[in-house]
Structure 1
Amino acid sequence: MAPKLDGYFKQVDKLSETFIDRLRKAVAIPSISADDDRRQDVVKMSEFLVSELTSLGAHVESRPLGPQPGKRDLDLPPVIVARHGSSPDKRTILLYGHYDVQPALKDDGWATEPFALSIDDKGRMYGRGSTDDKGPVLGWLNAIHAHREARIELPVNLLMCFEGMEEYGSEGLDDFIEKEAKPGGFFADADAVCISDNYWLGTEKPCLTYGLRGCNYYSVAISGPGQDLHSGVFGGSAQEPMTDLMRVLGSLVDTNGKIKIPGINEMVAPLSEEEKSIYGGISYTIDNLHESIGSTTGIYEDKENTLMARWRYPSLSVHGIEGAFSAGGAKTVIPAKVIGKFSIRTVPDMESGKVDECVFKHVKEVFAALTSKNTLDVQLMHAGNWWVASPKHWNYTAAAKAVEAVFHTKPDLTREGGSIPVTLTFEKATGKNCLLLPMGSSTDAAHSINEKLDRRNYIEGTKLLGSYLHYVAAEELGG
């Protein structure tokens, strides 16, 4: 039986300006985790959440994580954990979000002050953190608030985990989650996990995300001369590291995105007919791709291959070169050492260690074939694994019904090309299904200038989060 949600929906609408004011207060706190000088603002944001959650009747704890690695005089911001309800007769859902944000300055090109919420006549709410991830985090608080004001009991127990270092690599969080997921820990009785820290594929149709690619990031350093050289004096008489690096990097991937490293593509899980059938019904067009990339330089001419290339197949991207001349004008230098950076987005069933072996073997063989007198060093800089969940699990089927209740359409089932490492951490630590339930849309410009969250997405998204809890309570076991 579908839950009766009219009272909750009406209360969300009634409180909408209160919820927008809550977001305005949060955006005003410049909680930039990457800026040491803003650490007190990150802590201030954690205190704001503690105050708001406490006022809503939750049991809240601010958990210290100790000194930041490599910075003994600087403490990591606390993890905020909270519980609302503890009935043994209810399911318990663990929620995750983050309260830190990316750096932002008006001089970067913002049309408005980045830390002052600005709302235009189309309901676009501009401000750093509005969509990533303060809006979604506050959506959960709004849902609790609306239930309380409507005098509707929450149908599940809620556990919450809000961190302040996501934009700087979530330092200290993995160990914290693993500890708290063990018997007796704060997260021990979770039945499922829900994360709202991603986005719709487009602007009109909601989605549920059940997969993420991983990321292995590499550096290739080639060095020769003892110092930078003048090309007019030494060009043609000294072997040049940049020339070698270009040949190595050029051997990794072709113009159409095919990875040329032997053994990489052979690891990829085969495409099943069931999975293939999902892509045809997804609301997406090639025009959407062209709009997103700002040109018509997409590799494929059809939706299905484009989406599979983004989500379920690996990709290799070259990101930059350290040590080379990159300023405007002309400089005739031969750099003594250059470091190329590239990454491979990994997918099922690619094992990170085997990917590393293939990369190292290929790079060393290509360099050896150059018979260069320069020296090579290839390193893995960091790695994060891919993640795929079952969209047939009750956690997903409940969320799908909630989408239909609020937006009157079935959600797209999507994967994403990027990585949210904490998803896999929660899944492994708790052993429970994880759902990515986005609030924002594809045009929100997270991490960029003029980041925004549409008023519709924020208010209707609050309805969605609350509805999801009701459908979770009613959903039969499955998946």
Structure 2
Amino acid sequence: MLKPLFQYIDQNQNHFVQRLGDWVAIQSDSGDPAMWGQIDRLLNMTAERIREMGGSVEMADVGTHQLPSGQTVPLPPIVLAAFVRDPEKATLCIYGHVDVQPARREDGWNTDPFTLTEISGNLYGRGTTDNKGPVLAWLHAIETYKATKQEVPVNVKLIIEGMEEVGSHGLLELTRRMNDSFFSDVDFIVISDNVWTSNTPALTYGTRGSSYFLVEVDGPKQDLHSGVFGGSIHEPMSDLISLLGSLIDHTGKILVPGVTDAVAPLMDVERKLYENINFSLEELKNTAGVQHFLQNTKEEVLMARWRYPSLSIHGIQGAFSEPGIKTVIPRRVTGKFSIRHVPDMVPSDVERKVKEHLEQVFASRKSPNILRVIATVGAKPWVADLKDPQYVAGQKAIRDVFGVEPELVREGSTIPIAQNFQEETGKSVMMLPIGAHDDGEHSQNEKISRFNYIEGTKLFVAYIHELSQLKGQS
């Protein structure tokens, strides 16, 4: 059954690449409201392509968003699509997004980020791997069934948005609103918005959550000359450095009391999963440009990145950071840091303990300055059940296409939609990536290889087939 489908994909791969080039050319940067019209354009193109394949499409209105300027603007719609439903078949819902991170040639790109460029089998351009390439691969998988006159063996629905890179504004509310309608007959939800850990195909069963913090210390009414006032006042920067230094030690241990108490214990079944992952510490050192990690073994490094919490300090706003010398005491500074949390940590509990800790440290300094701690994001971690039938289908599909056993991995970053879908709909959720570990999503010279793009399309075709064998097991 799969052979003619795979042949169609091979014969049409240049056409599929050309279509990716058309999508990459649309600068759908969701971080810039001035570009939201481009997001609308691409969503409409996506909707039209689905209609051409026989699907029905609703452009769901998700309301407005207030910009920092105070202006209220309409959000790009969300594409809700479905193909003719057969009650005897399982129903698969595919999620993806078509917006991208900002990109400019002068940021260090070797090619124009919005012109698809193929070099040595790699397709370079913003959004190629995150997430335009995978979204197109799903559409091409459906096209492949229809073009070869084979019946799509599962019911297919799609959710495609254009605001994922800035927090998926409106999607959670839409999910709740559509729970008894659009999602009512869904059995499985699949997300292809991440990458493999190594050169081996992977299935992803967990992500870390995230809370982002702003720590502001407000002092004198204006910046002061350090030669005139240095040594005679409580400097906001000194307070802030002390506060940030109280959060984490040199081993990476989070020092906020009680914040890691709820971390789920490591079980032997999970521990063994890390042993089978094809992962090179030396290669990762070269990629990161570091001489050593805080941990010593492959397993320890992977667990530190995936299944244990971490705290990272990201920057200080208000401090002098330009080249040259400026002997100023800044009047107000804001530190920025985040905590990646894991099961069974709760964002609200993490945020409360962080605030209490910082307030206690600040009080111990007896500073007359003003402290403000603001927590944002608050995205929950997500973990799936590897015994879920959907993962069985995913493993079989990888064997069908690549002839290898997939790696079962977790993701260190935060993808809130996975947890939101699982929690709000109660449906089975799986992440099925096709991007490679060196694709550079969000970075300069983002790419997806032609191999991963085309073989990934075959993977989606095989996954649909394998999933059709699981009716009644969801």
TM-score range, shorter chain: over 0.9
Q: CA deviation at 1:478?
A: 5.6
Aligned partner letter, 1:448: S
Contact 1:394/1:478 (<8 A) preserved:
yes
The answer for the alignment partner of 2:296 in structure 1 is 301
Q: How far, CA to CA, are the matches of 1:80 and 1:342 in structure 2? A: 34
Aligned to 1:60: 57
Map of 1:30-429 to 2, 5 A cutoff?
Answer: 30-70=27-67, 74-120=73-119, 122-182=120-180, 185-202=181-198, 204-429=199-424
Q: Is the 8 A contact 1:289 1:298 kept in 2?
A: no
- Cα 1:466/1:7, change in 2 over 3 Å: same
Q: Distance in 2 between matches of 1:463 and 1:263?
A: 47
Choose from 415, 426, 434 the match for 2:429. 434
Q: C-alpha distance in 1, partners of 2:77/2:370?
A: 44
1:130 aligned counterpart, secondary structure: coil
Match of 2:20 in 1: 23
After the TM superposition, which of the residue ranges 51-60 and 388-397 deviates more from structure 2? 51-60
State how far apart, in whole Å, the 1-side matches of 2:221 and 2:71 are: 35
The offset of 1:291, in angstroms, is 2.5
Give the letter for the 1:56 counterpart.
Answer: M
State the distance in 1 between where 2:471 and 2:152 align: 18
Q: Does the CA-based 8 Å contact 1:213-1:419 persist in structure 2?
A: yes
User: Are the counterparts in 2 of residues 222 and 374 from structure 1 also a CA contact under 8 Å?
Assistant: yes
Deviation at 1:242, TM superposition (A): 0.6
After the TM superposition, which of the residue ranges 63-72 and 448-457 deviates more from structure 2? 63-72
| Pairwise CA distance, 1:67 | 2.4
TM-score of the superposition, structure 2-length normalised?
Answer: 0.97
> How many angstroms does 1:317 deviate by?
0.6
> In the alignment, is the contact (CA less than 8 A) between 2:57 and 2:79 conserved in 1?
yes
- Structure 2, unmatched stretches of 5+, are none
Q: How many residue pairs are counted as aligned between the two chains?
A: 472
Aligned partners of 2:13, 2:261: CA distance in 1, in Å? 51
Contact 1:131 1:451 in 2 (8 A): yes
Distance 1:477 1:274, change over 3 A: farther
Give the C-alpha shift of residue 72 in structure 1.
5.1
- The letter for the 2-side match of 1:423 is A
Give 1:57 shift: 1.3
Residues of 1 paired with 2:389 and 2:403: CA distance? 20
Cα separation, 2, equivalents of 1:397 and 1:288: 30
Q: CA contact under 8 A between 1:92 and 1:192: conserved in structure 2?
A: yes
SS in 1 for 2:131: helix
The percentage of counterpart residues that share the same residue type is: 44
Take 2:188 and 2:75, find their aligned partners in 1: how far apart are those partners?
Answer: 27
**Aligned residue among 7, 16, 24 for 2:4:** 7
User: Distance in 2 between the 1:267 and 1:88 partners?
Assistant: 42
Q: C-alpha separation between the residues in 2 aligned to 1:292 and 1:402? A: 30
One-letter code aligned to 2:206: G
Paired residues of 2:6 and 2:458 also in contact (CA < 8 A): yes
Contact 1:190 / 1:430 at 8 angstroms: preserved in 2?
no
